[in-house]
């Protein structure tokens, strides 16, 4: 039986995102959720998922909101107002071949978010990874903290090649046509299933959520979140996966 891991990122980003994401778990097919430990709305988001059978991972974030670490100790990561550098700042620096993240500083913040995750959830993360930004030092820092605490680190694949998670080869799905996918994200699930790999597990990462003012102010990803939330909760999608004999798994199932 082919395996498909469906993950939702950004729990804690905002209350609107939390509601859409939680609905995708409670009434949908999401079984793994990435938690942003630094965000103020994370407590509300975790409350919405109480008593749900879900694998919670640390979705380490260094590009939205305020850090847990005092900004004066991690100046390379922060703007003058004490908030993290934006995704746009990372992209623009990368175009010039610059990684402004200082490794020792980002390790401090990753560690602080790990400790906060454990405090909030009462458990170790079921998987450990990072919100995508253009910084190799960020991903080096994730590896350092993961090794320090023996955490199940999920490396990022930028070209679709598989990565090893524990002893399982994980294939990350990348849409072939993003505009078509954004208008109908079920296209992605059908494509992933039709091209599923027999020698590992296929993984799809979604960002379901509902729109609120904070999301509008801070993110360019808005409407696609709503479309994904609707699709992930659609009974016909769940039935389609059952008809195709697809086994939905979480990171806890990967050994």
Write down the mean pLDDT value for the chain: 97
Q: 37-54 pLDDT, tens per residue?
A: 999 999 999 999 999 999
Residue 1: the pLDDT is 78
Residue 228: the pLDDT is 98
What total of structural domains would you count in the chain? 1
Residue 157: the pLDDT is 86
Tokens of 21: 């994401």
Residue 23: the pLDDT is 98
Burial of 117 (0-12, 13-18, 19+ CB in 10 A): buried
pTM for the predicted model, two decimal places:
0.97
Alpha-carbon distance 241 to 124, whole Å?
30
Burial call 194-217: b when 16+ CB within 10 Å, e when fewer: eebeeebbbbbbbbbbbbbebbee
Residue 75: the pLDDT is 98
The 10 Å Cβ neighbour count of residue 122 is 7
Ranges in the chain, pLDDT < 70: none
Tokens of 10: 């950004």
Residue 246: the pLDDT is 96
The gap between the terminal CA atoms of the chain, to the nearest Å, is 16
Containing domain of residue 145, as a range?
A: 3-253
Residue 69: the pLDDT is 98
What CATH number does residue 144 fall under?
3.20.20.370
């Amino acid at each position: 039986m082919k395996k498909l891991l469906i993950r939702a990122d950004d729990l804690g980003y905002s209350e609107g995102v939390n509601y859409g994401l939680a609905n995708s778990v409670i009434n949908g097919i999401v079984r793994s959720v990435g938690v942003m430990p630094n965000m103020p709305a994370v407590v509300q988001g975790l409350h919405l998922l109480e008593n749900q059978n879900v694998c919670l991972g640390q979705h380490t974030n260094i590009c939205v909101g305020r850090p847990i670490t005092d900004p004066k100790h991690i100046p390379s990561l922060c703007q003058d107002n004490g908030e993290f550098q934006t995704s746009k700042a990372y992209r623009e620096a990368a175009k010039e071949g610059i990684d402004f993240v200082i490794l020792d500083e980002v390790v401090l913040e990753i560690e602080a978010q790990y400790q906060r995750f454990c405090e909030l959830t009462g458990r170790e993360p079921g998987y450990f990874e990072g919100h995508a930004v253009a910084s190799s030092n960020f991903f080096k820092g994730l590896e350092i903290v993961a090794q320090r605490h023996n955490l199940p680190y999920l490396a990022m694949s930028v070209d679709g090649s598989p990565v090893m998670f524990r002893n399982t080869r994980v294939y990350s799905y990348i849409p072939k046509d993003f505009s078509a996918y954004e208008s109908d994200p079920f296209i992605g699930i059908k494509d992933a299933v039709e091209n599923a790999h027999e020698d590992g597990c296929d993984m799809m990462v979604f960002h379901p959520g509902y729109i609120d003012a904070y999301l509008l102010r801070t993110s360019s990803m808005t409407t696609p979140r709503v479309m994904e939330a609707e699709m992930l909760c659609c009974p016909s999608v769940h039935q389609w996966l059952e008809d195709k004999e697809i086994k939905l798994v979480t990171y806890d199932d990967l050994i």
